[in-house]
Amino acid sequence: MSKITKVYKEIEIAVGTEYISDKDFMKAAYSRNVDPAFPDRWADIIVRPETTEEVSDIVKIANKYKIPIVPRGGGADLVGGATIEGGILIDLTRMNKIIEINEKDFYCEVECGVTWGALLSELYKKDLTTGVLGPGSGFSATIGGGLSNSTAGFGSTKYGLVPNICLGVEVVLPNPQGTIIWTGAAANKYSKPFCRYGVAPDFTGLFMGDAGTMGIKTKCSLRLFPNSPYKIQKNYILKKDDYNKVFELMYELQKEVKDGIHDLYINPRVVVQLLASQAKIRPPKRARLSGPVFMFILEAFDERILDVYIEQVNRIMTKDNVARPFEWTEIDLDLKLAKDWKFDFKFPYSYFNKFISLAPPKISCTTCHKIPISSIADKKELNS
Ligand SMILES: Cc1cc2nc3c(=O)[nH]c(=O)nc-3n(C[C@H](O)[C@H](O)[C@H](O)COP(=O)(O)OP(=O)(O)OC[C@H]3O[C@@H](n4cnc5c(N)ncnc54)[C@H](O)[C@@H]3O)c2cc1C
């Protein structure tokens, strides 16, 4: 019997016949992520565990036979991270339970295979949010993928990356024993998973952005926030294609408006031109696309405070006549995001469809580069 056949049989006993496969159509289905460039990679075995103990059993078997393992969530990775050539691919999407939503202490505990869509649907019913709402790839990406890729996405301007809201993780370590550990407050069996720091050194950080190399995340707790009831989208177009100005404006906005800005996307002029060239319903007179478009989502708990944020943003953006208010309908009457927009799932979905999916791979990939503005060596290069 080959080594892989032995591994298959042992894992089959651990998870059950229905949740393991070595069929070609399954290997093909799991051979890619949502990336434009990377080749197919076919695993030997696809397995879909349901519990942390099953994950631990798989890790023990893989160690015994020295077979590589790669975990997979929604498979929306941009760089082939959730595929493997040979070895075992662990699909974690059966581990999708929302274990607790604690409204009083503002945290939730979930299994890492739960999707952003499933979690946010439950949280919104209770006027709660995770603040950062997952990646631009959409709501079928998982929390585990977000933690493992240090994902930035909707809400990151204000709430940071996905690891910023993580209060602790349950991880199956890649050692021969498949040891199960918790980090953060939950490492103390008498505590609740409500805080990350102050319990011990921050072991949670070891597993953030690790692309699954430090272990398999099976559960986690996340910080929750009350969902601000007042939100609005505002857009401005720069009068010149000048990235030095972009950096200056971003600095001022961060200093003066800060928490009022839920999100700020800078759409490069080339993306705006691309959108204009693909307009579904062209307006009779199209706008001159002079520079990048700043797309703001502002939020507040009080309508009067939202008005203050709107006024502050407008003052900064229009000072010295560097930018003017902009509506997407100036390039395409079908892009009515600004008018239709309510803070629901429709917005990020439309954003993905109308903005990211239109852009050629080179442009959409830049969303994953996390570069501090102040350390970009030669800003002039960006202007050329
Ligand atoms: C169109 C498009 C737009 C995107 N926009 C963004 C964006 O705005 N910001 C951004 O940061 N990324 C973005 N991405 C990349 C990707 O969607 C995100 O990183 C997302 O969070 C991945 O989640 P996932 O569940 O699909 O993870 P997967 O793709 O399944 O896995 C991602 C990585 O995490 C590991 N992993 C997954 N689950 C676990 C687990 N439970 N334990 C340990 N390791 C695990 C995998 O091995 C892999 O290395 C985008 C991708 C596309 C295609």
Cα end-to-end distance, the chain, whole Å = 61
pLDDT digits (tens, 9 = 90+) for 330-344: 998 877 654 444 445
Say whether both 154 and 37 belong to one domain: no
Say whether both 23 and 152 belong to one domain: no
Say whether both 84 and 171 belong to one domain: no
Domain termination site, one of 91, 108, 132: 91
Q: What is the CATH number of the domain that holds 11?
A: 3.30.43.10
Q: 136 with 154: CB under 8 angstroms?
A: yes
Q: What is the CATH number of the domain that holds 341?
A: 3.30.70.2190
- Conformation bin of residue 187: beta by default, left when phi > 0, alpha when psi is -120 to 50: alpha
- One digit per residue, the tens of pLDDT, for the chain of length 384 reads 899 999 999 999 999 999 999 999 999 999 988 876 778 899 999 999 999 999 999 999 999 999 999 999 999 998 889 999 999 999 999 999 999 999 999 999 999 999 999 999 999 999 999 999 988 877 889 999 999 999 998 899 999 999 999 999 999 999 999 999 999 999 998 999 999 998 889 999 999 999 999 999 999 999 999 999 898 889 999 999 998 899 899 999 999 998 999 999 888 898 888 888 888 889 998 789 999 999 999 999 999 999 999 999 999 999 999 999 998 889 988 776 544 444 455 555 555 555 554 444 433 333 344 455 555 444 444 444
Q: 100 with 203: CB under 8 angstroms?
A: no
Say whether both 65 and 79 belong to one domain: yes
Report how far ligand 1's centroid is from the alpha carbon of 81 (Å). Answer: 8
Pocket test for ligand 1, best of 31, 52, 72 (most atoms within 8 A of CB): 72
Using CA positions, which residue lies closest to atom 45 of ligand 1? 212
pLDDT at 383: 45
Domain termination site, one of 226, 243, 278: 226
Say whether both 305 and 333 belong to one domain: yes
> What is the residue range of 307's domain?
230-383
Q: How many domains does the chain have?
A: 3
pLDDT at 208: 97
pLDDT at 329: 87
b/e 170-196 (16+ beta carbons within 10 angstroms → b): bbbbbeeebebebbbbbbeeeeebbbb
Q: What is the CATH number of the domain that holds 141?
A: 3.30.465.10
pLDDT at 353: 54
Say whether both 245 and 376 belong to one domain: yes
pLDDT at 374: 52
pLDDT at 360: 42
Q: What residues are in contact with ligand 1 under a 6 Å CB criterion?
A: 33-34, 70-78, 81-82, 92, 112, 135-137, 141-142, 144-146, 148-149, 151-153, 211-212, 216-217, 356, 364, 367-368
Say whether both 82 and 121 belong to one domain: no
Report how far ligand 1's centroid is from the alpha carbon of 273 (Å). Answer: 28
Who's near 209: CB < 8 A, 6+ residues apart? 147, 148, 149, 150, 163
Say whether both 285 and 168 belong to one domain: no
Report how far ligand 1's centroid is from the alpha carbon of 219 (Å). Answer: 16
- Side-chain half-sphere of 186: how many Cα atoms within 13 Å? 21
Say whether both 278 and 255 belong to one domain: yes
Report how far ligand 1's centroid is from the alpha carbon of 76 (Å). Answer: 5
pLDDT at 233: 87
Say whether both 109 and 76 belong to one domain: no
- What's the Cα-to-Cα distance from 244 to each of 292, 363, 377, rounded to whole Å? 12, 20, 12
Say whether both 283 and 251 belong to one domain: yes
Q: How far apart (Å, rounded) are the C-alpha atoms in residues 327 and 323?
A: 13
Return the ligand 1 atom nearest residue 76 CA: 26
Domain termination site, one of 226, 245, 268: 226
pLDDT digits (tens, 9 = 90+) for 185-243: 999 989 999 999 988 899 999 999 999 999 999 999 999 999 998 988 899 999 999 98
Say whether both 341 and 258 belong to one domain: yes
